[in-house]
Structure 1
């Protein structure tokens, strides 16, 4: 049985198109354990100047304020939690051609040297290797690869680049586009996404890490 983390980056909960599609995916993953992380409800530590300077101080063995030390202890637990899973399902609506700020905040917190990646002989090595990510991306613009608006994609392109940086090479993407327009167009987009989910479920292999 694989353990999967559903990272929900939409504040719309049940009204979210990406979550509707993710629900179909999760329902089809018989025999797998799925935990949800709703980022708009999560308690994410601040990632500000004090936190950044505190990170350098901790690495160098210098004293830091107890509040900063507590924040970095919490961040370390977040990274451990993220890396404890065999894979991730991420529901991500497009906001202004990119990703919601809460997801960017989460990514900034967990993508730390020595925690999610390390540098070996001058090269970065991701510490999330051997796992799989399934991205359910949605948006009002139809920016699917190969389409006339594909150049506006700073959502899927960013997520794939980030996942690759932390070592994830098995990435599947389900597109829910467009989510805005006349009723028939939106219904067709949902039907395409549901069909893509069914096709992925037929081919998907999610073995637990040994």
Structure 2
């Protein structure tokens, strides 16, 4: 059975992006997937301005709002539904100032809305609506912020994405770190080789699991 996968590309650097290079390497080797690509650098994301936020509270209370505000929330609801329609999510991203690029954060803020990406039961327990799928994070960075390294405390990139995905219900999350991408040519090439190896191993596991 063919699985639907969306590749969310957070880098504006096109073919020069190292996270995107590893993501493409992975996708070329992943069996039985239909891939859609979302380049966040080219997406017109709704602005979460004050009147939009206030409109959300009004809608939740059953109150009338201006037509353009209602249209904004219809679009946000459609974007969240589009995200949830996939069986898997591949997020490739560089690190900007220890975290994710602002357009990826903006996208996450747009779709992570109560009643859309998650809900709460009568006891206040959060129920994520993405529990049906798997996720792959390809996180590149100039600094080596891998968990076992001395700069691990500076990781607000992969760690943040892992926590967010868990919050919306994704329990099957795989992370490939491409780092460090700054340094001598030998150091950067070694980081890329290691990421390609990890991507190849992951695609073998995922393809094998899909055939079981």
Q: Normalising TM by the smaller chain, what interval?
A: over 0.9
Aligned-partner SS, 1:44: coil
Which 4+ residue blocks in structure 1 deviate beyond 6 angstroms? none
Instruction: Name the CA distance, whole Å, in 2 between partners of 1:31 and 1:166.
Output: 25
Gaps of 5+ in 2: none
Q: Partner of 1:106 in structure 2?
A: 107
What residue in structure 1 maps to residue 188 of structure 2? 186
Cα distance in 2 for partners of 1:10, 1:65 equals: 35
1:31 Cα offset (Å):
2.2
Q: TM-score, normalised by structure 1?
A: 0.97
Partner of 1:135: 137
User: Offset at 1:16?
Assistant: 0.1
Q: TM-score, normalised by structure 2?
A: 0.96
C-alpha distance in 1, partners of 2:125/2:153? 29
Q: Per the alignment, in what secondary structure is the counterpart of residue 154 of structure 1?
A: coil
Post-superposition offset of 1:207: 4.4
**Equivalences for residues 67-86 of structure 1 within 5 A:** 67-86=68-87
- May I ask how many residue pairs the two structures share in their alignment? 208
Q: Which residue of 1 aligns with 2:37?
A: 36
**Mapping for residues 45-194 of structure 1, pairs under 5 Å:** 45-120=46-121, 121-194=123-196
Distance in 2, Cα, partners of 1:49 & 1:164: 28
Which 5+ residue runs of structure 1 have no aligned equivalent? none
Aligned to 1:13: 14
Q: CA RMSD in A?
A: 1.2
Find the residue that maps to 2:22 and give its secondary structure.
Answer: helix
**Is the Cα contact below 8 Å between 2:30 and 2:204 reproduced in 1?**
no
